[in-house]
Amino acid sequence: MEFCDECGSMMKAEDELWVCDSCGNKTPKDPEANYVVTEDQEASEVIETSKGDEQSALPTTEAHCPECGNDRARWYMQQIRAADESETRFFICTECEHKWREDDN
């Protein structure tokens, strides 16, 4: 792993160069170095997911949907207020996809 001398970002290997995606800096690779590429690195690619895929990966719980009355919802937590306050729980109905939140009061 190499880091950019200009901005400190991690650099990517391209042919005989290290290239920084952040600032565009290019540095030649050391011909004496023994670079090891794992199978994960060799096969890495961007996988696009749809919104439905993200939601189906969320855990489910018992929660009453205010729109359709269904009793199951997917949920996640997100910090939307100050760091010293608790996270907000978001629910997505498994039937109608209605989204609502629950704050700690």
Binding residue numbers for Zn(2+): 4, 7, 20, 23, 65, 68, 93, 96
Q: Which residues are annotated as a binding site?
A: 4, 7, 20, 23, 65, 68, 93, 96
Q: Each residue of 26-45: b (16+ CB within 10 Å) or e?
A: eeeeeeeeeeeeeeeeeeee
Q: Each residue of 80-103: b (16+ CB within 10 Å) or e?
A: eeeeeeeeebbbbbbeeeeeeeee
